[in-house]
């Protein structure tokens, strides 16, 4: 017997504004939420006192039924840097070890950084139209290296859960910084002190 939430649901994207409707939840992250993540702590602290700029926002729509728990999110990372490090998401690994995720880049340019608990690292270069599969047990973070918003859609299962601690501890092996006006991947000193 079908329950009320077992029927098909559609959401509508506005492809010129890159938003969808209805948005069921919205999360915003500012510099103060990311203090542990940027390598230039002084630059981050200064930005916090100068208005604590918004780095990115995530819009959510979940599709929970009596037997499934898919979620779709749209993440918009605004352009800019903290010190020399480009705006980026916090990054996380999913709590469950059998959960994959799909990311689809709608606009902008940057990197999807991926890393396993054993320290395998990948950086996927992103432009509009790149679709990436994040396999289970790869931590993931996105970085906006462009002059425009970086906008992407993610699709996953809510029961995958989040573990932010593993990224918060040491970050990813590489930082994405602006060097001579160009995005550059450099070694993260927290990995090789």
Residues contributing to the site for Zn ion (CB under 5 A): 101
Separation between Cα atoms, residue 67 and residue 116, nearest integer Å: 30
Our finding on whether 89 is near ligand S6P (CB under 6 A) is yes
Our finding on whether 156 is near ligand S6P (CB under 6 A) is yes
Among 81, 144, 154, 157, binds ligand S6P (CB under 6 A): 154
Other beta carbons less than 10 A from residue 65's beta carbon: 15
81 binds, among Zn ion, ligand S6P, none (CB under 5 to 8 A by kind): none
Among 90, 123, 128, 136, binds ligand S6P (CB under 6 A): 90
Contact 101, 71 (CB under 8 A): no
Half-sphere exposure of 117 (CA within 13 A, CB side): 10
Which region, judged by CB under 6 A, interacts with ligand S6P, from 12-20, 39-47, 86-94, 114-122? 86-94
Locate tokens 């425009």: which residue? 148
Extract the tokens encoding 78. 């605004």
Our finding on whether 108 is near ligand S6P (CB under 6 A) is no
Locate tokens 């926002």: which residue? 57
23 binds, among ligand S6P, Zn ion, none (CB under 5 to 8 A by kind): none
């Amino acid at each position: 017997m079908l329950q009320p939430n077992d029927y098909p649901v559609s959401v509508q994207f506005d492809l010129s504004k890159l938003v969808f409707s209805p948005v069921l939840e919205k999360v915003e992250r500012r510099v103060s939420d990311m203090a542990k993540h940027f390598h230039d702590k002084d630059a981050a602290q200064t930005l916090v006192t100068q208005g604590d700029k918004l780095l990115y926002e995530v819009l959510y729509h979940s599709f929970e039924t009596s037997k499934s728990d898919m979620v779709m999110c749209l993440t918009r990372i605004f352009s800019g840097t903290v010190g020399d490090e480009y705006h980026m998401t916090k990054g996380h690994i999913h709590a469950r070890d059998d959960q994959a995720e799909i990311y689809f880049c709608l606009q902008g340019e940057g990197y999807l950084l991926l890393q396993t608990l054993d320290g395998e690292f990948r950086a996927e270069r992103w432009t509009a139209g790149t679709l990436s599969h994040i396999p289970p047990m790869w931590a993931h973070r996105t970085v906006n290296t462009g002059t425009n918003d970086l906008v992407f859609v993610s699709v996953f299962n809510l029961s995958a859960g989040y573990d932010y601690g593993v990224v918060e501890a040491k970050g990813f092996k590489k930082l994405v910084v602006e060097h001579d006006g160009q995005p550059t991947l450099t070694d993260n000193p927290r990995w090789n002190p």
